[in-house]
Each structure stands twice: as C-alpha cells, then as structure tokens.
Amino acid sequence: MSLALLGGEKAVRLDYEKVGNRPLVDEKSRAAVNAVLDSNKLSMNPIVREFEKKFADYIGAQYALAMNNGTATLNSAVWAVGVEPGDEVIVPSYTFWATVVPILSARGVPVFCEVDPETFTLDPADIERRITPRTKAIMVVHVWGCPADMDAIMAIAKKHNLKVIEDCSHAHGATYKGKKVGTIGDAGCFSMQDTKLLCAGEGGVFVTNDRDVYERAVAYGHYERIRELPPDSPYSKYTLTGMAYKYRVHPLGIAVANVELDRLDERNEIRDSQGKRLEDEVAKLGFIRPQKVPEGARRVYAYHYVRYDASKLGGLSLNTLLKAVSAEGVLCGTCGYGRLHYAPIFVEGGPYHDCGPAVPDLRLPVTEALGEDTFMMAPRFENICPELVNQYIEAYYKVLENLDALITYEKELGVTTTQENTGRSINLFR
C-alpha cells in the first residue's frame, strides 16, 4: 500500500476529535460552574478549599494550595524551600521554561544538568557532579508523565542537605514505589492548564508535607490566608502585606477541576492502556524508542513523546518521517525541549543580572540529542478507541513498508529542516 504522501490512501480514516478526544467541559462540569456563578462568590468560593482537601487526600499530602497556574506553584516552591540570591538549583534543560525561570526570579542560579537518555529525567550521576557549596535545591521534572529516579535523587539530597522540588505538570496520578509523585520531595507542583491530565483551563496546585514550606507558600502568594496560620508561625506578622504576590485561583476553573479529579484515575486508565499499546506495537519496528519507566514506577500518558533512531530507517530525517505519518492522518509533532541552556534569559542573565549569567558555556550532549530526536508520535487518546489506535499503528508500519520510496522522495526534494523550536510541549506538524 502506497504512502498517502506519495498518492496512496490515508491509513488514519477516523476523526480523532470525534473518536479519540472528548470535550474538556461536559454537562457535569457545566453544572458545577453554574453553581459557582449562581453563588455570587466568584473570587473566594468555598469550592476552592473543598478541592484542595480532596486533592491533598488524593495525592497523599498534608497540605495543598490551589493557585492561578502551574508557574505560580513553581515560583512559590522555589521561595518556600528557601532559595535565596546566589543559591544554585540543579535543574534539567529538557523541560518547559516555567520549570527554570522561577529560579532566576528568586535571584537564584539555575545549574543545568543532564538527563538519562532512556527515561528523559534527571541523571543522578550528573546531579552529583554539579553540586557545589552554593547548591540549595534540586528541581525534578517528571517529564511526559514518567517519574524520575526518586530513590537516587532523594539519597543525593539527603547526603548534601538539599531541598527537592518536584515539577509534576505532566504527572497527575503517576506513582513511584507506592507514592504519588509530588509527595516524595519537599514540595510538588502541578499545572492544570487545558492540555494537562487534570484541567481547570488555567490553574495549579502546590503540595507539601512540610508545615514550614506550606506556611512560606501561603505568605508568598496568599495574603488573605496568612491570618489563618498558627499564632507561632513566623509568617503571621506579614498579614497586612503578604510578600507582594497574589496567586489566588479562579473558582470557575476549580469547579471544572473538582469534577475532573473524581474521574482522574478512570481517565488515566483509558489513556495509559491505549498509549502503551501504541508504543509497544510501533516499537517493534525498531525506529522508535519509548521512554523507559523506572522500576517500581507507574507513568501516566500525558503526552506521547518517543526517540527516533534514523539509523534504523536508512538515515531518513525526522522531518520527512513526520511529513509522511502526518500525511497518513496522524497527529504528530516536533519536540520543544532540550535547549534552555542556550536561551538568552539564562545565558545573558535576562532581566536578572544580580547573580550573573546562569550558563556561561555549557554543552549537554544527551539533552541536546533528545531535543533533536524526540517527537510526539500521537495525541493523547481520551476515549476507548481501539480502531483509531490500530490506524495509527498502521500508519507507522506503512513508513517501513515504503522506506525505499520515501528515501527517494527525500533525496529528490532535499532534506527540509523541522519546525522552529518554540519551547512548547506540543508542536503539531503542519
């Protein structure tokens, strides 16, 4: 069967939006939103506290604070664990910018670290190499929903007396050796933007089991709650002013997230079973390598990013591969991660010159390779849709079956570059 790119019929004949996707807001969510609207309490509504308690119980944390976005939770976490001007925070470059910029805004220094080529998460051995007397914390990213090697990371943190922040923006419900991610380090940060596993439209949740870390986060971005802190809290004196930030979440978004939280595990089962089947079947072709999950961990399929091995397809460029599978009807895309250590805001210091440039001259070979060869092989399957998954599998098999013709096509047209790297999590191929 010829490739669609070369005049054949498409492998993917079903409409993803109709078969594989679902509305972000259903009737139950609409009813919850309407209840908030009817309450006339559109700023500080009781539903926020209800959601925080429910999320804390779900995740296994003592404290939870809902915030206006995931970036706010990361800002809060950096300050809450005590990062001060000049302190170093070890962080991956293979991540979204919001993981790293909060370190600069606290006048800390991001120290970029390598990631493991198989798990795509922080490499514990490289963490050790980058620790200095100025190191204060490690910022872990459970990227694409895959837990990092937390046993090794926490052992390093304990050895060097470091704080650990978990960026769980992709990992709602993921677990590591029986614990949900976000509860293993000193603070966990979740995004609820509308591409995330738990959606509020915009929103975030900060969690911790440490009273002092929680109280610092309250003082930092929730001035109206400072008066509720215990009398012996050192932060009670800031009731009048807070710390100049206001991260209160909008209750309308929380109304949606509150409903979705009840269904998160069920939704994750649907996403995970289909995502794993797709990856397992396509991996048999040899030219993709799925993300490796650490022993004892359970990943959640927030996104379907895998590594491409061009040597298995005669050197065919990733751009041509994406062009071919996209023509088959596959929703696929390039990877926006892996180049933050070259970004001007870090290399030049951006608006934060106090501590000097974060990256004077740095090469991260594994990270940079991942930035070049990881790609989004499919969208997230929100519904049970085995036939659509079969058609996606068929599309990738067609590439191998028509490899000679595709290589000839590439040679005749010349290799085109992939899309510009925007740093976004989702860069659909057009």
Q: Last residue of a domain, which of 202, 233, 262? A: 262
Dihedral-angle region of residue 139 (phi above 0 means left; psi in -120 to 50 means alpha; beta otherwise)? beta
Integer Cα distance of 331 and 16 in angstroms: 8
Residues 233 and 123 in one domain: yes
Q: Compute φ and ψ for 127, nearest 5 degrees.
A: -55, -50
Residue of 343, 245, 325, 252 whose CA lies nearest to 285? 325
Residues 90 and 175 in one domain: yes
Q: What angle do CA 349, 353, 358 make, to 5 degrees?
A: 40
Residues 215 and 347 in one domain: no
Residue span of the structural domain in which 386 resides: 4-22+264-428
Number of domains in the chain: 2
Which residues in the chain show pLDDT less than 50?
Answer: none
Q: Compute φ and ψ for 14, nearest 5 degrees.
A: -85, 150
Residues 244 and 294 in one domain: no
CB 110 within 8 A of CB 124: no
Q: What angle do CA 336, 75, 137 make, to 5 degrees?
A: 85
Residues 12 and 68 in one domain: no
Residues 241 and 270 in one domain: no
Q: Last residue of a domain, which of 262, 282, 303? A: 262
Q: Last residue of a domain, which of 262, 284, 316? A: 262
Q: How high is the pLDDT of residue 430?
A: 67
Q: How high is the pLDDT of residue 427?
A: 77
CATH of the domain at 388: 3.90.1150.10
Place of tokens 């809290």: 233
CB 165 within 8 A of CB 81: yes
Integer Cα distance of 303 and 271 in angstroms: 10
- Give the 3-state secondary structure percentages of the chain, helix then strand then coil, rounded to 5: 45, 15, 45
Residues 69 and 209 in one domain: yes
Burial (0-12, 13-18, 19+ Cβ within 10 Å), 396? buried
Distances in Å between the alpha carbon of 274 and those of 52, 173, 180, 266, 280? 30, 17, 22, 13, 10
Residues 245 and 291 in one domain: no
Q: How high is the pLDDT of residue 348?
A: 81
CATH of the domain at 101: 3.40.640.10
Residues 217 and 274 in one domain: no
The secondary structure element, H or E, covering residue 377 is strand 374-378
Residues 66 and 181 in one domain: yes
For residue 201, the Cα-to-chain-centroid distance in whole angstroms is 16
CB 203 within 8 A of CB 253: yes
Residues 315 and 391 in one domain: yes
Residues 293 and 255 in one domain: no
